[in-house]
Structure 1
Amino acid sequence: MTKYHYTVSVLVLFIFLSSYIPVNDPLDRIISSFEKYLSERPQEKAYVHTDRDFYALGETIWFKTYLTAGPFHQTSTLSNTIYIELIDTGRQIIKHHKIFSPDGFASGYLTLPDSIPPGSYLLRAYTNWMRNSEEEYFFHKQITIVSGIEEKGENEFPKDVIDLQFFPEGGNLIEGLMNKLAFKAIGRDGWSRNVTGEILENGNIIREFKSNHLGMGVFAFIPEKGKNYQARVKETGQTIQLPNSLASGILLSVTNSPKSNDLLIKIQSSKNSELKQVLLLAQTRGLVGATSRIDLSNKISFSKIPKKEFPSGITQITVMDEEGNPLSERLVFIDYQDQIQISVNPDKMSYAPRDSVHLDIEAKDQNGNPVIANFSLNVVDGGQIYLDENGETIQSYLLMSSELKGHLESPGYYFNPENQDREEALDLLMMTQGWRKFTISEALEGNIAKPEYPIEKGITVKGKLVDKNQNPLAAGSVSYLSLFPFPDSKTAQTTEKGSFELTDLVFFDTTKLVLQGKAENGKAGLILLDTSYLFPKIPNNQPLFNSKKAALPKSFLSESELRKNSNKAFDLDNSEYLLDGVEVKGKKIEPEYTGPKIYGEGSVKVQVAGNPGLENQQHPLELVRGRVSGVQVSGNGSDWKVLIQGYGSIKNGTDPLIMIDDIPIDIKSLITIPVQDIESYTVWKGPDTAVFGSRGANGAIGFYTRKSINGKSSIKQEAETLVLKGYQVQKEFYSPKYPVQNINNPKPDRRATIFWEPFIQTDSLGRASVSFYNHDIETEVFGQIEGLSTQGKIGVGRFSYKIEK
Structure 2
Amino acid sequence: MKNLYSVLSSVSIHHLPKLVFAFSFLFLLTPSITYSQNKENILEDSYTSYFNAERETIYLHFNKHKFLLNESIWFKGYIYDKKGDIPFITSSNIYVSLYDKDGNTLKTNLYYAENGTFSGQFKVTKNLASGHYFIKAHTNWMKNFQEDESFTSETLQIINPNSETNEVIENNTSTFDLQFLPEGGHCISDVTNSIGYKIINCEGKGLMINGQIVNSKNEIINTFKSNLFGIGKFDLHMVTGESYTAKYTINNKNFETKLPISRPIGFSISLNNYTTKLITYLTLKTNKNTLLKEAGKTYYVVIHQNNKSSVINLEIDKLNLNHVIPIDNKKLPIGVNTITVFNDQLQPLLERLIFNYREGDYIKTNLTAKPISNDSIPIHINLKDNSNVAFSSNISVSVLPAETESLSTSRNIISSIYIDPYINGELENANFYFEDVNRIKSFHLDLALLTQGWSKYKWDNIKKGTQNLIIPFDKGVTINGTINETLDPKSKYQIQLFSLVNNINETRPIGEDKAFNFDNYYIQDSTKVHFSVFKDGEKIAQPKLYAKVLNKDRSSLNQIFKSPNTCSIIESNQVIELTKYADIDFKGEVLDTINLYSKNTVKQKKQENVLKYIGNAYSKGIKVGSDQERAFPFIIDIINANGFTARNDVGRITIFNRQPVSFLGSNSPLLIVDDVNFGRDYQVLTSMRTNEIDEIYFNKSGLGYGSRGGAGVIRIYLKKDLGLLSDNSLARYANSLLVSGGFADQKEFYSPLFYNKSNHLFNTYGAVDWQPKLISDKNGNIQFKIKKPDADRLLFIIEGFTVNGKLISEIKEFSISKNTNN
Give the TM-score taking structure 2 as reference length.
0.69
* Letter of the structure 1 residue corresponding to residue 6 of structure 2: Y
Residue 482 of structure 1 and its aligned partner are, at CA, apart by 5.2
* Letter of the structure 2 residue corresponding to residue 325 of structure 1: Q
2:168–2:571 CA contact under 8 A, matched in 1: no
Map 1:152-171; keep pairs closer than 5 Å: 153-156=167-170, 158-171=172-185
The superposition leaves residues 460-496 of structure 1 with CA deviations (integer Å, 9 ceiling, x where unpaired) of 568x98999xxxxxxxx9996656334345689999x
In 2: Cα distance, 1:266 partner to 1:101 partner: 45
Distance 1:485 1:169, change over 3 A: same
Residue 539 of structure 1 and its aligned partner are, at CA, apart by 5.9
Q: Which runs of 5+ in 2 are unaligned?
A: 12-32, 486-493, 535-541, 607-671, 679-717
Equivalent in the alignment of 1:696: none
- SS state at 2:240 partner: coil
In 1: Cα distance, 2:157 partner to 2:213 partner: 40
In 1: Cα distance, 2:353 partner to 2:788 partner: 46
In 2: Cα distance, 1:328 partner to 1:527 partner: 56
- Residue 296 of structure 1: which of 294, 302, 316 is its match? 316
* Letter of the structure 1 residue corresponding to residue 182 of structure 2: P
Residue 78 of structure 1 and its aligned partner are, at CA, apart by 2.1
Residue 590 of structure 1 and its aligned partner are, at CA, apart by 9.4
1:377–1:784 CA contact under 8 A, matched in 2: yes
In 2: Cα distance, 1:553 partner to 1:308 partner: 53
In 1: Cα distance, 2:176 partner to 2:576 partner: 33
Map 1:38-117; keep pairs closer than 5 Å: 38-40=51-53, 42-117=54-129
Residue 64 of structure 1 and its aligned partner are, at CA, apart by 1.1
1:268–1:296 CA contact under 8 A, matched in 2: no
- Residue 382 of structure 1: which of 402, 421, 433 is its match? 402
Distance 1:167 1:461, change over 3 A: farther
Equivalent in the alignment of 1:409: 428
- SS state at 1:206 partner: strand
Equivalent in the alignment of 2:638: none
In 2: Cα distance, 1:722 partner to 1:21 partner: 66
* Letter of the structure 1 residue corresponding to residue 49 of structure 2: K
Residue 82 of structure 1 and its aligned partner are, at CA, apart by 0.9
Equivalent in the alignment of 1:646: none
Equivalent in the alignment of 2:383: 363
Distance 1:708 1:368, change over 3 A: closer
* Letter of the structure 1 residue corresponding to residue 230 of structure 2: G
- Residue 306 of structure 2: which of 285, 307, 318 is its match? 285
In 2: Cα distance, 1:466 partner to 1:228 partner: 78
In 2: Cα distance, 1:584 partner to 1:272 partner: 105
Equivalent in the alignment of 2:24: none
Residue 552 of structure 1 and its aligned partner are, at CA, apart by 12
* Letter of the structure 2 residue corresponding to residue 799 of structure 1: K
In 1: Cα distance, 2:564 partner to 2:468 partner: 28
Supply the RMSD in Å over aligned alpha carbons. 4.7
Distance 1:517 1:177, change over 3 A: farther
In 1: Cα distance, 2:784 partner to 2:383 partner: 14
Distance 1:558 1:735, change over 3 A: same
- Residue 312 of structure 1: which of 334, 358, 368 is its match? 334
The superposition leaves residues 671-707 of structure 1 with CA deviations (integer Å, 9 ceiling, x where unpaired) of xxxxx999599xxxxxxxxxxxxxxxxxxxxxx9746
1:382–1:781 CA contact under 8 A, matched in 2: yes
The superposition leaves residues 493-519 of structure 1 with CA deviations (integer Å, 9 ceiling, x where unpaired) of 999xx999975232223753147999x
The superposition leaves residues 499-544 of structure 1 with CA deviations (integer Å, 9 ceiling, x where unpaired) of 99975232223753147999xxx99565676758222378667234
Residue 54 of structure 1 and its aligned partner are, at CA, apart by 1.3
Equivalent in the alignment of 1:137: 149
Equivalent in the alignment of 1:321: 343
How many aligned positions are there?
Answer: 659
Equivalent in the alignment of 1:508: 524
* Letter of the structure 2 residue corresponding to residue 154 of structure 1: V
In 2: Cα distance, 1:708 partner to 1:485 partner: 18
Map 1:454-493; keep pairs closer than 5 Å: 454-460=472-478, 484-488=502-506
Residue 58 of structure 1 and its aligned partner are, at CA, apart by 0.9
* Letter of the structure 2 residue corresponding to residue 37 of structure 1: Y
In 2: Cα distance, 1:432 partner to 1:480 partner: 57
In 2: Cα distance, 1:493 partner to 1:30 partner: 52
Equivalent in the alignment of 1:232: 247
Distance 1:560 1:404, change over 3 A: farther
In 2: Cα distance, 1:316 partner to 1:732 partner: 42
* Letter of the structure 1 residue corresponding to residue 325 of structure 2: S
The superposition leaves residues 63-99 of structure 1 with CA deviations (integer Å, 9 ceiling, x where unpaired) of 2111112324311132111112222234333332211
Distance 1:376 1:188, change over 3 A: closer
Distance 1:515 1:429, change over 3 A: farther
Equivalent in the alignment of 2:187: 173
Distance 1:241 1:147, change over 3 A: same
- SS state at 1:103 partner: coil
In 2: Cα distance, 1:315 partner to 1:397 partner: 15
In 1: Cα distance, 2:257 partner to 2:533 partner: 66
- Residue 444 of structure 1: which of 463, 467, 477 is its match? 463
* In the alignment, structure 1 residue 533 sits paired with structure 2 residue 553: yes
In 2: Cα distance, 1:489 partner to 1:581 partner: 45
- Residue 542 of structure 1: which of 562, 565, 571 is its match? 562
* Letter of the structure 1 residue corresponding to residue 336 of structure 2: I
The superposition leaves residues 601-621 of structure 1 with CA deviations (integer Å, 9 ceiling, x where unpaired) of xxxxxxxx9743899xxxxxx
In 1: Cα distance, 2:34 partner to 2:389 partner: 41
Residue 357 of structure 1 and its aligned partner are, at CA, apart by 1.6
The superposition leaves residues 251-289 of structure 1 with CA deviations (integer Å, 9 ceiling, x where unpaired) of 22221125230111222333122334311110123322x
2:212–2:222 CA contact under 8 A, matched in 1: yes
Residue 735 of structure 1 and its aligned partner are, at CA, apart by 8.2
The superposition leaves residues 271-309 of structure 1 with CA deviations (integer Å, 9 ceiling, x where unpaired) of 122334311110123322x32112331432322211111
Distance 1:406 1:260, change over 3 A: closer
* In the alignment, structure 1 residue 30 sits paired with structure 2 residue 48: no
Deviates more, 1:450-459 or 1:302-311: 450-459
In 2: Cα distance, 1:545 partner to 1:733 partner: 30
1:330–1:431 CA contact under 8 A, matched in 2: yes
In 2: Cα distance, 1:123 partner to 1:164 partner: 28
- SS state at 2:205 partner: coil
- Residue 211 of structure 1: which of 203, 212, 226 is its match? 226
1:122–1:545 CA contact under 8 A, matched in 2: no
In 2: Cα distance, 1:747 partner to 1:188 partner: 35
Deviates more, 1:531-540 or 1:199-208: 531-540
* Letter of the structure 2 residue corresponding to residue 221 of structure 1: L
2:477–2:549 CA contact under 8 A, matched in 1: no
* Letter of the structure 2 residue corresponding to residue 331 of structure 1: L
2:60–2:78 CA contact under 8 A, matched in 1: yes
Equivalent in the alignment of 2:281: 264
* Letter of the structure 1 residue corresponding to residue 769 of structure 2: F
- Residue 730 of structure 1: which of 717, 722, 746 is its match? 746
In 2: Cα distance, 1:258 partner to 1:548 partner: 40
Distance 1:535 1:3, change over 3 A: closer
Residue 754 of structure 1 and its aligned partner are, at CA, apart by 1.5
* In the alignment, structure 1 residue 185 sits paired with structure 2 residue 199: yes
Equivalent in the alignment of 1:423: 442
* In the alignment, structure 1 residue 792 sits paired with structure 2 residue 805: yes
In 2: Cα distance, 1:486 partner to 1:720 partner: 14
* In the alignment, structure 1 residue 567 sits paired with structure 2 residue 586: yes
* In the alignment, structure 1 residue 612 sits paired with structure 2 residue 630: no
Give the TM-score taking structure 1 as reference length.
0.71
1:517–1:720 CA contact under 8 A, matched in 2: no
* Letter of the structure 1 residue corresponding to residue 417 of structure 2: L
In 2: Cα distance, 1:75 partner to 1:228 partner: 51
In 2: Cα distance, 1:135 partner to 1:466 partner: 42
In 2: Cα distance, 1:83 partner to 1:788 partner: 21
